[in-house]
Amino acid sequence: MGYVEEIKKKDKLLAMIIRNDYMCEGVDFITPSEYSQQVAYMHHPKGKLIDAHVHNLVHRNVVMTQEVMEEPEKPYRKQSVSAKTEMC
């Protein structure tokens, strides 16, 4: 199973699950640019300054509310630390 799992019904994407052990250096945009909500994973060294940039104005027609949820850590669940880094 990959670090990002897509849940589909027929060809319709219902959900994306980003596993808690997902890692990547820099920035990885997980959702395609045409999605109405942009999800990215960022991991930079401490002290990294992000260059000034602009966000393009894009008009979108959102029909249904989208959301991002994070599962809280459970006290009984041992957090695993992976030294593996997936390159973006």
pLDDT tens digits, the chain, 88 residues: what are they? 568 888 999 998 888 888 888 888 888 988 888 887 888 888 899 999 999 989 888 888 888 777 777 777 665 544 444 444 444 5
> What span, in angstroms and rounded, lies between the C-alpha atoms of 50 and 53?
9
> What span, in angstroms and rounded, lies between the C-alpha atoms of 80 and 68?
23
Domains of the chain, residue spans: 1-63
- Contact, 3 vs 85, CB < 8 A? no
